[in-house]
Chain A
Amino acid sequence: MTFVVTENCIKCKYMDCVEVCPVDCFYEGDNMLVIHPDECIDCGVCEPECPADAISPDTQPGLESWLKLNAEYASVWPNITIKREAPADAKTFDGVPEKLQHFSADPGPGD
């Protein structure tokens, strides 16, 4: 079992999660973070930390596609453990529906 980062992280990328994660299992894309499902120990610490409520346990129904996206990009994006400034327009995108169209497959800078 693992936690997964879901749609509302896209273009919000607040990064509060990376500081509390005990196992450093967040990976950074250009405009979203993902969790490595094989490294996450399901402790749940990150879930309430996310200002965008974008993190959920994979036991929640309907998250299969997000679990797949997390697994796929966690293996190619760089690791991130240190929080930086969120994007300037993060708030504008918080809660906007259908954000998947804004998803970028490009890697972020990482630590």
Chain B
Amino acid sequence: MTGKIAAFAISLVAASVIVFLVLNVLPGDPAAVMLGLDAQPDTIAALHHKLGLDAPLPARYLHWIAGLLWLHLGTSFTYGIPVTDLLADRLQVTLPLAAITLLLAVAIGIPVGVAAAARQGSLGDAAIMAAAQLTKSVPDFWLGVIFILVFALRLHWLPAGGFPGWQGGLLPACRALLLPAFALALPQAAILARFTRSATITALNQDYIRTARAKGLSRRAVLWRHALPNALIPVVTVAGLLFPLLLSGTVIVENVFNIPGLGRLLFEAINQRDLIVVQDLVVILVASVVLVNFAADSLAARLDPRIAANE
């Protein structure tokens, strides 16, 4: 276990170094990039000094990391307010959106996959898998746009975009998040469904299933008590790998539906060349990917006694 934690920590550090280098070395002069093409040399020099860009790279890196750990993330170049405040603000939108999406993807994907596995070879199975294949081939932002067309503009069931804020009430806020969450969740559910199906079928073909049936368990009992607990182990690992997709997708749908979350912030920051915000945001998102992978691996190890034994 300590080995895993050490590896996790090293990954975090390595990732932060990469982010730092890309955003501080690649652009040549970050200050010049942020100020734009027609900036005056002395304006650039002033910004240089203000941002501490005169210091050597390692010092700047450590200063930044120390800031991250103490949540002093600097001031946004475009908005002029502390990045921490910006993030806190936007997190209130993105976290619920991501949570709803995850819930939907799992609640739809896993049962569908199990249902297909239980009916393996039948017409129902083929139909479910064809639908899943189609759904996961469609770009999530396109799905979002189509949803806007159908459910918002034509049927007027749900808002076409924007976010009224949580102060306006729980229901309007959730209604605004529903379409984006679905647009994001459906392709992920499709991937989960296919994977769950194949993991369940593999489990159902194992010898211990035959042993269980010989005890007198019904087909249904065998599926739930023996096949699924085994099938869920690889599914948990794959869910960990789906997180980067969830992240990218959240950024995209926030822009499709004009929702003021972290994704929209990233988009705005890139367009405005606000390297400070970009750097902080990217490193936080990268760190979350590393964290989720770590969590998924650890969870898989808990569920499967064989993995723990091999540690």
The finding on whether chains A and B are genuine partners in a shared complex, rather than unrelated, reads no
Chain A positions within 8 Å of B, measured between CB atoms, are none
Chain B positions within 8 Å of A, measured between CB atoms, are none
